[in-house]
Copies of this chain bind each other. A is one copy, B any other.
């Protein structure tokens, strides 16, 4: 069952990639959401409608949470819930035409089951879950090295970093350096691949859901900074990190 579903969802992610590339060749519209650098495009909306409709065919009794509002009003995590980010890193998508992702996660009764992060321009689908392992296309990933904070490049959302909240500038001083790529999906991929020791940001459900499945499957820590547990249905101030980095960071922020 899980393998069949996974196969269907992988196919869906590759179809969504093809649609995205096709739309990048034509003109698409860009609109502001809350402010000048919070954007949405007709590609975000088209991808979301396409993915949501496909999910309803693949898994008719499921519920869908998706960024641009074409999904369901989900208040319970009972059964299977899909969480969709049709374009993650829309600012990069518009300004850079690279460094963005399409993300999809499947949770069952609140438990992370399957995660998908498509790095569209590099043609790499990160996929898997606790029952399947984590893969980049056809290659299985092993757990990244358990690096310390000192030995790690890290990514901290710059708004949070500059606000001095939780003294994250001290955390940064203990790390090897700061990197910022501008897409939760791309940052997660870098943590999964061991190129970043931590990603720390304020993440909405669709920013976190897929990366969490894959990171936890690889034994990485996904933990709220300010709450006892993660909430699948709302935003989390969260780190995704190696075990050692998580230990080092919580020793500094507590």
- Name A's B-contacting residues (CB within 8 A): 36-37, 91-92, 95-98, 150-153, 158, 161-162, 169, 172, 175-182, 190, 195
Q: With contacts A95-B153, A96-B153, A96-B195 known, is A177 near B169, CB below 8 A?
A: no
Provide the residues of chain B in CB contact with A91, threshold 8 Å: 153, 176-177
Provide the residues of chain B in CB contact with A95, threshold 8 Å: 151-153, 176, 195
Q: Name which residue of chain B comes closest to A98, CB basis.
A: B195
Provide the residues of chain B in CB contact with A195, threshold 8 Å: 95-98
User: Nearest-CB distance from A199 to chain B (Å)?
Assistant: 13
Say which residue of B36, B150, B158, B172 sits within 8 Å of A36 (CB atoms): B150
Q: Name which residue of chain B comes closest to A162, CB basis.
A: B169
Q: Name which residue of chain B comes closest to A152, CB basis.
A: B95
Provide the residues of chain B in CB contact with A177, threshold 8 Å: 37, 91, 182
Q: Give bound CA distance, A135 to B174, whole Å.
A: 39
Say which residue of B36, B98, B152, B179 sits within 8 Å of A181 (CB atoms): B179
Provide the residues of chain B in CB contact with A161, threshold 8 Å: 162
Q: Name which residue of chain B comes closest to A36, CB basis.
A: B150
Provide the residues of chain B in CB contact with A152, threshold 8 Å: 95
Provide the residues of chain B in CB contact with A153, threshold 8 Å: 91-92, 95-96, 182
Q: Give the residue among A95, A98, A150, A182 with the most B Cβ atoms within 10 A.
A: A95
4 further contact pairs, Cβ within 8 A, besides A37-B175, A92-B153, A181-B181 = A36-B176, A37-B177, A178-B180, A180-B180
The 7 nearest A-B residue pairs measured at CB? A96-B195, A180-B180, A37-B176, A158-B178, A95-B153, A179-B180, A179-B182
User: Nearest-CB distance from A151 to chain B (Å)?
Assistant: 8
User: Nearest-CB distance from A173 to chain B (Å)?
Assistant: 10
Provide the residues of chain B in CB contact with A96, threshold 8 Å: 153, 190, 195
